[in-house]
Structures are given as C-alpha cells and as structure tokens.
C-alpha cells in the first residue's frame, strides 16, 4: 500500500495521517484475541499498570506468529518506506492496552525524544504506525495529537519515572499549552482496523480509561535502516538491535493464517 500525493502533503503539513478501514474486522479480531492471550501471560515483555492491569506488551512479533505477520504487513511497511525512501527495520513493537477502568495516562511526549536520549537514534527518521484493535472512542482513552507540533523539532523534556509504571521523557505544561494554542488538539477515533501514522516528533498523549470499554492499539516503530540506533540503553526487546530490512509478507497473510489455524489445531 502506498500513499497518494494528497496524503503525503497532509502528513507533511499535520504530522499525522489517519486511515480508517485499513484492516478488516476479521483481521482485527484475530489480533485482538492474540493480544488478550499475551496479556494473560507472565512474560517479562508484558508491563503492567500499578493496579496489575496490562499496560503494554513489547516485542510480540518475536514470539507470536500473528503479530510476526503484522510486523511485516505491506499495508504498514509500504507507507513508511515510501516516506523515508529506503528500507526500514523494526525499532520497537508494542501492544498498548487501556484496560477498562484501569488504563492509566500516557503523559505528553515526543517519541523521538526517547529514541534519541535512550537509544542513540541519530535523526527522527523513524515513526509509529498504529493499528486499532478495539474501537477507539472519545471516551475510552484515545490518542491525542497536537497537529503541526512535529515542526518544532526535539523539545526539552524531563524524565518522568514516577507518574506511571513506564518511564517517559515528558513535556512541561507550559510547552504543551503553547503548542496547543498554535495547533489545537485532535483525537482520531475509529473502528477496529483503522490505522494512524505519525511523525516521531509529533507531540501526543492519552488520558486514562475510566469506562467499561477496552482500548488496544498495536504500534510498529519503523526506522530507516541507515538511521539505526547507536547507543541503546534499554533491553533488546524494547529497543531492537536487529537492523535487517523488513521483507513484507503477502497482503492476505493474516487471513491465510486465520484460515489455517483450525486445521493446525485439529
């Protein structure tokens, strides 16, 4: 899948692009079920909220076949390769949960700020491309973006290790207020299967989920191969050291896997 000239201009201007209906409900349902199984495991890659509810599961593409296929899916790999004009590798892969009633806040931050400070990534030639596994609504902790904030480069940040169970390089209230006054705040919502891609410097956050409705999103952090990390400080399952270019699978790979599973089980 490639982006149109109009979509490329929109991404350059706003710093993000929302693609509803990119995956069908059957594909999203397969991945949703697999995510729930992973959250119920005791793997070290599964981080939890202070309440014990799942927060994020790292590196699922290395130990789960369905997510391994998603990590090489052409509908996700193609647009990012197109933007960077070179092959990409998987810098990070995570399934973020906002568990009903227990999903905590993700503070205002830029992703590249963390990748640069913690992993030694030279330039913001990496980005997240995210797939909604549940319906993301205005009420269940949607991702909030500040349009055009990517144009400000890397902003000063403090290392917050106390607010939640996940340490993050976060922006202060004054910076967020100034950026929001310039660009506003948007919160893309949509059905399972929707895709959101956004620039590594785009300022974003998400509020807690105090509703009965779950909100799971898979994030592929794809980095240009030439921009691979130089000085990682985090575990390999958080910041990967395999810089091999991703070779996309066929477009129907997830559907084929879903069809084969009952026969394999029998």
Taking only the tens place, the pLDDT of each residue in 99-146 is 999 888 889 999 999 999 999 999 999 999 999 999 999 999 999 999
Taking only the tens place, the pLDDT of each residue in 48-98 is 988 888 889 999 999 999 999 999 999 999 999 999 999 999 999 999 999
DSSP result, 132-172: ESS-B-TTS---EE-TTGGGG-SPP-EEE-SSSSS-EEE--
- The answer on pLDDT for 264 being more than 60 is no
H runs (alpha helix) in the chain: 5-14, 25-39, 65-70, 74-84, 111-119, 173-183, 253-265
Distance between CA atoms of residues 138 and 144, nearest Å? 10
pTM of the model: 0.93
Q: Where are the domains of the chain?
A: 5-265
Phi, psi of 109 (to 5 degrees): -160, 170
Distance between CA atoms of residues 166 and 56, nearest Å? 9
CATH architecture of 5-265: Sandwich (2.60)
Upper half-sphere CA count for residue 29 (Cβ side, 13 Å):
5
Taking only the tens place, the pLDDT of each residue in 32-49 is 999 999 999 999 999 998
């Amino acid at each position: 899948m490639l982006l149109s000239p109009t979509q490329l201009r929109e991404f350059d201007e706003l710093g993000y692009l929302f693609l509803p209906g990119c995956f069908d409900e059957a594909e999203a349902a397969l991945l949703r079920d697999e995510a729930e199984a992973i959250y119920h495991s005791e793997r070290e890659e599964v981080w939890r909220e202070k309440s014990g509810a799942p927060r994020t599961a790292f590196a699922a593409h290395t130990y789960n076949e369905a997510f391994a296929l998603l990590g090489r899916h052409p509908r996700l790999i193609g647009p990012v390769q197109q933007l960077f004009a070179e092959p990409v590798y998987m810098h990070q892969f995570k399934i973020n949960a906002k568990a009903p009633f227990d999903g905590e806040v993700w503070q205002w931050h830029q992703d590249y700020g963390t990748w640069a400070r913690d992993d030694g990534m030279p330039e913001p030639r990496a980005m997240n491309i995210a797939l909604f596994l549940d319906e993301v609504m205005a009420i269940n902790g949607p991702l909030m973006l500040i349009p055009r904030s990517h144009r400000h480069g890397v902003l000063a940040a403090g290392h917050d290790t106390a607010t939640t169970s996940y340490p993050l390089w976060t922006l202060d209230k004054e910076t967020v207020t100034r950026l929001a006054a310039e660009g506003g705040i948007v919160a893309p919502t949509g059905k399972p299967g929707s895709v959101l891609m956004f620039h590594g410097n785009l300022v974003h956050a998400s509020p807690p989920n105090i509703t009965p409705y779950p909100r799971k999103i898979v994030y592929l952090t794809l980095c240009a191969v030439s921009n691979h990390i130089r000085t990682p400080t985090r575990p390999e399952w958080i910041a990967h050291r395999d810089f091999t270019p991703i070779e996309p699978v066929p477009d129907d790979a997830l559907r084929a896997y879903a069809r084969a599973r009952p026969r394999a089980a029998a």
